[in-house]
Chain A
Amino acid sequence: MSNELEPLADPGLPEHIHRKADTDPIAAKRAERQVAVLFSLSAVGTLLFIFSYFFVDQDQFIFIPVMGSTNAHQLGIGIGMAMSLLFIGFGAVHWAKTLMPDQEVIAYRHEMRSEDSDREDFVKAAKAGAETAGLGRRPLIKRALAAAAGLAGLPAILLLRDLGPLPGNALNETSWKSGTRLVTDPGDRPIKASDLEVGGVAQVMPELPVGQKRTLENIAKDAVLLIRLRPTEFQLDAERLSWTHEGIIAFSKICSHMGCAVALYEQTTKHLLCPCHQSTFDVTRAAKVIFGPAARPLPQLAITVDSEGYLIAKQPFTEAVGPSFWERKS
């Protein structure tokens, strides 16, 4: 936009410079051949695809520098397909760049807004339409319609009700009851304190009644980590200490932050680390959060042994396991 204040006037479009192929028939012919070669290479790619699809075994591996041992079938059809597509593209672009007109042309814009007369006519038409419908004059109809339309949305929302059950107390309950045996996962064998050495870690689940199958929903709440330390290493209050057994302490494996499995145990520091967001829990201090975004310790499961010496839960979890939720009691 040039105006009085602009330091320089618009010099206009620069002069068009012709390409070699525009003036030299030999160059144009060469460009034509190049485009044809590019398109032919695409056909070669398609042939490679067909050959690899039918004649290269799916289990055949070949050695390719940089890539190492590579599946020949996958590589053959992939490269074939890539070539067949790429060279069509290269050919078309080369064609456009060398042989199609490259002189820039000018088109003119008009302002987006309509002509004033059109705008006035529109307002008139809209007003006339509203007038004939009489909405303004008949408020009763207007209000009744608004109420009806608003209510008509309700069934749509209500219909979603059966997407799932109401939460009820589900988030506060696990399969752990007092006396539930701890069983190995995998394997489902009851364990004794002596099965776990000092410094050792094991994932356990609650023993299920015979014939019942463990669901993923169970695992998502029931998974527990057993860690065995020397009893002197704990820094717990008397109650929490009584929840351990011969140095074995049990925590929910489900992170109190976002529910990932807290699977990394560092033996030297006695820290549990969640691989998702790096919340770090100190095992010696009842899984107190010492780093990361988790706001609560991992819930501790009180354990003891039954008459046969197998590890059992002394009582259910005293708080909800897993990530926080609105109704959670803290």
Chain B
Amino acid sequence: MSARERVAANVANYVDERTGAASWMKKNLQKVFPDHWSFMLGEIALYSFLILLLSGTFLTFWFDPSMRHVVYEGSYQPLKEVEMSAAYASTLHISFDVRGGLLMRQIHHWAALIFMAAIVVHLLRVFFTGAFRKPREFNWILGIALLTLGIVEGFLGYSLPDDLLSGTGIRIAHAIIQSIPVVGTYLSFFAFGGAFPGEVFIPRIYIVHVLLLPGIFLALITVHLMLVWYQKHTQYPGPGRTEKNVVGYPLMPVYMAKAGGFFFIVFGITAFLGAVASINPIWLYGPYTPGQISAGSQPDWYMGWLDGLVRMAPPIETYLFGYTVSWNILIPGLIIPGIIFTGMALYPFIESWITGDKKEHHLLDRPRNVPNRTALGAMSLTFMLVALINGGNDIIATHFDLTINQIMWFSRIGIIVLPPLAFVITKRICLSLQRADRELVLHGKETGRLVMLPHGEFIEVHEELSAAKKYTLTQHQQPAAIALVKEDARGVLNPKGIRAKLQARFSAANAENIAKPTPDELKQLEGGHH
């Protein structure tokens, strides 16, 4: 035993005698993770979170979360002698007088955008491949919670510098709180410590932004990862991959190197963006005052859809018995987002109710094989996209020489018409792809090679797929629809009448598929058909 091995052995022995870690470590160092590029998306979110913690901690060393009035005396000449809040002044200080401060600010902001983008794309991957199905429903809900908190955290973060743009965002958030029936006025006075803007909201959102929410994030992310670890990762279907196994590489050393390396790559790319791509240049906006505004005020992209919904809302308010209800704020600002996020959180349970499927699933779906779910995803995405486009309507109008009115009317009509259209089109595309898969399995790939047969007929040579490929294209299940039981054998009406009808109706739509090749059809082929 070399000296180095002896030291390692001694340390390991010391730790194990006190923790018994060896038996756990022995199993888990060899833990198998399946490999696929799309499994990287959640990793990007995790690493961006770590980058946010690191860069954010750096920023707190100089940021002064106070709305105390100060006169700016730093090195940025255009704002010299201007009265502003200490929060804004310290953000200018970080940007111009702390070496690496601007770099860190930009890294922090870019990391936040990447964090949110990674969460959304990761969520889409999980949704479209059905990774949320039993036993992973809890983890799906944790993911939705992380997404929701991420939006809030991001919004609070870019509100901290107290510049003209972020103050405008806070103004809008204030109006949303104030619009809540019965308690809104009180809530807004409690949240802001009095009338808007007051002098307390920056310190308050600061502590939420740097302590409360990051703490919740850490807890939720830990549980999220522990569940992934414990339930073992899902895998894409293919030869040798079943519901009972997981095929991939061991944690030690391959995934440690790959995942560890990938953290550095994500950090490096974020640093590169922070170095070359200016983001949120708050010194151009000036300090916040409620009497001013900059044209083209835009929230960050993950809030853009919400702003887009608010912009397209019809101007409806009702006045009843001396009280005001602002539907033009409530519907786009609270009711629709509430429905969207609740719907997302409940989706695994809704789908399992429709399909009647209570089995565990560890093999992922190919999106085309579940046309209804895929179409529903496309429909929701279209809704969000139209809202997001309308959130940038002023920018689009100036860049594409359109009027605001044209874009607004496009969005108002589009948000109702386009999502159902996306549903129908996506479903058709899925069914067509299923048909193409069936063709491929039964008749092979087109090779483009034309051959003339002795009797003069031309045919195109088709190349048979490999057994592995054929298996991948046919392994999925095609469950039948749930039949509607109107009455039992004795003629008693089903007590769950409407619910059962709904379930049968959805289930029938869900089971609409192109039948995959049957064993008979394949046998016929082997029997020498073309």
Contact = CB atoms under 8 A, between A and B. Distances in A.
A binds B: yes
Query: What size tier do the contact residues of chain A reach?
Result: 35 or more
A258 B297 CA distance: 13
B336 to A, nearest CB: 13
Contact of B253 (A1, A88, A96): A96
Nearest to B478: A5
Interface string B468-480: 1011001101000
A104 interface: yes
B116 interface: no
Contacts of A329: 322
Interface in B258-277: 258, 260-269, 271-272, 274-276
A294 B179 CA distance: 13
A188 to B, nearest CB: 13
Contacts of A295: 315-317, 326, 328
Contact of B246 (A106, A160, A219, A261): A106
Contact of A93 (B168, B262, B275, B516): B262
B24 to A, nearest CB: 16
B297 A275 contact: yes
Contact of B275 (A7, A82, A87, A203): A82
Interface string A39-82: 00000000000000100001000000001000001110111011
Contact of B174 (A53, A165, A259): A259
Interface in B137-171: 168, 171
Contacts, number: 319
A102 interface: yes
Contacts of B32: 105-107
B118 interface: no
B191 A92 contact: no
B6 interface: no
B172 A259 contact: yes
A327 interface: yes
B239 A13 contact: yes
B310 A167 contact: no
Contacts of A77: 99-100, 103, 275
Interface in B75-131: 99-100, 102-103
A106 B62 CA distance: 51
A323 B315 contact: no
Contact of A323 (B179, B186, B268, B405): B179
**Centre residue among B179, B288, B332 by max chain A CB count within 10 A:** B179
A164 B245 contact: no
Given A107-B31, A219-B289, A100 B254 contact: yes
A11 B471 contact: yes
Contacts of A84: 268
Interface in B325-347: 325-326, 328-329, 332
Interface stretch (A25-33, A108-116, A193-201, A235-243): A108-116
A166 interface: yes
A58 B76 CA distance: 12
**Centre residue among B316, B324, B404, B405 by max chain A CB count within 10 A:** B324
B414 interface: no
B290 A219 contact: yes
B405 A291 contact: yes
A235 to B, nearest CB: 20
Contact of A10 (B31, B242, B293): B242
A323 B326 contact: yes
Given A109-B243, A165-B194, A278 B100 contact: no
B190 interface: yes
Contact of A163 (B185, B193, B243, B295): B193
B356 interface: no
B415 to A, nearest CB: 14
A107 B232 contact: yes
Contacts of B269: 82, 86
Nearest to B319: A330
Nearest to A296: B317
A258 B172 contact: yes
Nearest to A257: B328
Contact of B258 (A74, A82, A93, A166): A93
Given A107-B232, A223-B290, A89 B240 contact: no
Interface string B1-43: 0000000000000000000000000000001100100000000
B198 interface: yes
Contacts of A254: 290
B253 A100 contact: yes
B239 A12 contact: yes
B268 A217 contact: no
Given A81-B103, A111-B360, A326-B324, A220 B314 contact: no
A305 interface: no
A171 B195 contact: yes
Given A275-B394, A296-B317, A108 B245 contact: yes
28 contacts: A6-B474, A7-B474, A8-B471, A10-B242, A12-B239, A73-B99, A75-B275, A81-B275, A88-B264, A89-B261, A89-B263, A92-B261, A92-B264, A96-B253, A96-B258, A105-B248, A107-B245, A161-B190, A164-B193, A216-B197, A217-B194, A259-B172, A259-B174, A260-B293, A277-B310, A295-B315, A326-B181, A326-B183
Given A216-B197, A323-B179, A323-B326, 14 more contacts: A10-B239, A11-B471, A77-B103, A85-B271, A86-B271, A93-B257, A104-B248, A164-B200, A171-B195, A258-B176, A292-B408, A293-B313, A294-B328, A326-B180
9 shortest interchain CB distances as A-B pairs: A78-B275, A92-B261, A86-B268, A89-B264, A13-B240, A89-B265, A220-B290, A85-B268, A258-B175
